[in-house]
Amino acid sequence: MDRKTTLLLLALGVIGGTLAIGARRSYALKKARALRASYRPHFSDGCYLVKITDGPAWSIGEFGTFDAAQNKVLIEGEEFNAEEFEFILA
């Protein structure tokens, strides 16, 4: 390979790595925000960190906290009825 091809591949590798790290960081930040919201004092037993898989379009892929006692989902500080969403444990 010539020098230009090597530099091009190196540049693409750096850009790809940066994008992958950014995506992983974004995922971790979403999860951390949901976990931080779960530390509210009114939650007791039956509080689970969940990832929304189906429901309103804005909520798909978001992390939230499911309170089993009240059947509520807390997403970004707002409580919603859990029956409006489908979710999995995160």
Give the model's pLDDT for residue 8.
Answer: 93
Give the model's pLDDT for residue 39.
Answer: 61
Category of 42 on φ-ψ map: left (φ > 0), alpha (ψ -120 to 50) or beta: alpha
Residues in the chain, overall count: 90
- Distance CA(85)–CA(90), nearest Å, equals 15
User: Scanning the structure block, which residue is given the tokens 């974004």?
Assistant: 26
pTM of the predicted model, to two decimals? 0.55
Q: Per residue in 15-53, pLDDT tens?
A: 999 999 888 888 888 777 777 666 655 555 677 888 899
- pLDDT (mean) for 3-17: 92
Q: Which of 3-12, 41-50, 62-71 has the lowest mean pLDDT?
A: 41-50
Give the model's pLDDT for residue 29.
Answer: 80
Paired tokens of 29: 């930040």
